[in-house]
Chain A
Amino acid sequence: MDLILYDEELKEIQVLIDQLQVDARAKIVFVVDKNGQQITGAGEIGKIDTTSLASLTAGNVAATDGLAKLIGEKEFSILFHEGERDNVHISIVSNRVILIIIFDERSSLGLVRLRVKKASAELARIFLRIIEKTNTQPSAGLEAAFSEITDDDIDNLFS
């Protein structure tokens, strides 16, 4: 199933994670599709390679999912990596998106978990709407963009 993200929902997500970044005193908050596609981020994202972050996190979550199933668990909904300086808190929202928080000593695991819990519920509501919208009106607005594309346009991409 394709996932289609529109301006309206993206703005809502942005407001939510901007707030989460402040509340959790995080360096970076990042939202990624479970397939490794980045959705949006907040905080010091200019300092890291976000495409790699998205892909590696999705791989990490997929591997942990496989591990969970192997031992008969539905999923491990939270992953936590502790470093010398920075820590990474990863959680799954609506079984479809991944919320990543990178934080240092200015915050704490307890605070991050608390804030993530609250924000996740809100994020889940937004993504439920996005998924419904993708299912019910998959081509809204996109039809025009795609219908204009000819075989030649596609060929020209590679010329």
Chain B
Amino acid sequence: MAFINYAAREVNCKIVYYGPGLCGKTTNLQWIYEKTNPDNKGKMISLATETDRTLFFDFLPLDLGSIGSLKVRFHLYTVPGQVFYNASRKLILKGIDGVIFVADSQEARFDANLESIDNLDKNLKEQGFDLMKIPYVLQLNKRDMPTALPVETLTKELNVKGEQVFEGVAPKGIGVYETLKAASKMVLKELRRNT
């Protein structure tokens, strides 16, 4: 549901980071925020609890530059991952153009990943989207953890439609930019296809 301001020759797209609690969605956004040139980013907003858990969302506006005469802007959002925040999570999915699913590679969080993908599917449907049709990429985060499951296992179990998979260590920035890049490209190509 991109917003195209033809008057200002601007395309605005919305990408949401989804995934179970503590999987690293906010960390992904923080890394992007820290590493992006100040001219190309706006203020990052985090609506979080006192213990730094996402309460409603994180928001980061990003200026990607221009394609031809069109300025391309992305609005990145994260959802609160904790199960009981589902009502808030649904709201963030309104008007999305693409989703990045951040999975926690640790064995103990395997079920939480599956549950979160199910929840994403259900919430997308409620907002009128189909997981099988929207631009979607998978990031296997926390690859540096000792209990991380093998990439092959996670890919096999968590891949929903043959989407691109990236390995990540978000606090170090590993895989963060690659994931965003892949998702943004998919969104722009989808947008071009629809116009």
Contacts and interface: CB of A to CB of B under 8 A. Distances in A.
Nearest to B72: A157
B195 interface: yes
Given A34-B94, A158-B185, A51 B42 contact: yes
Nearest to A140: B6
B90 interface: yes
A2 interface: yes
Given A52-B43, A59-B47, A142-B4, A2 B59 contact: no
Contacts of B56: 59, 63
A139 B9 CA distance: 13
Contacts of A10: 5, 7-8
A71 interface: no
Interface in A4-30: 4-7, 10-11
B22 interface: no
A153 B68 CA distance: 8
Interface string A122-159: 00000000000000001101110110110101111110
Nearest to A139: B195
B88 A149 contact: no
Interface residues of A, number: 42
Contacts of B94: 34-35, 62
A56 interface: yes
Nearest to A49: B43
A141 B61 contact: no
Contacts of B42: 49, 51-52
Nearest to A1: B1
Nearest to B66: A157
B138 to A, nearest CB: 19
Given A145-B69, A146-B195, A153-B68, A59 B3 contact: no
B188 interface: yes
B195 A138 contact: yes
Nearest to A63: B91
Interface in B136-195: 181, 184-185, 188-189, 191-192, 194-195
B70 interface: yes
B132 interface: no
A2 B94 CA distance: 12
A149 B71 CA distance: 12
B3 A3 contact: yes
Interface of A: 1-7, 10-11, 33-37, 39, 49, 51-52, 55-56, 59, 62-63, 65-66, 70, 138-139, 141-143, 145-146, 148-149, 151, 153-158
27 contacts: A1-B1, A4-B4, A4-B6, A5-B7, A6-B6, A6-B7, A36-B95, A37-B75, A39-B5, A49-B42, A51-B43, A51-B61, A59-B92, A62-B91, A142-B195, A145-B68, A146-B191, A146-B192, A149-B67, A151-B189, A154-B67, A157-B72, A157-B184, A157-B188, A158-B64, A158-B181, A158-B184
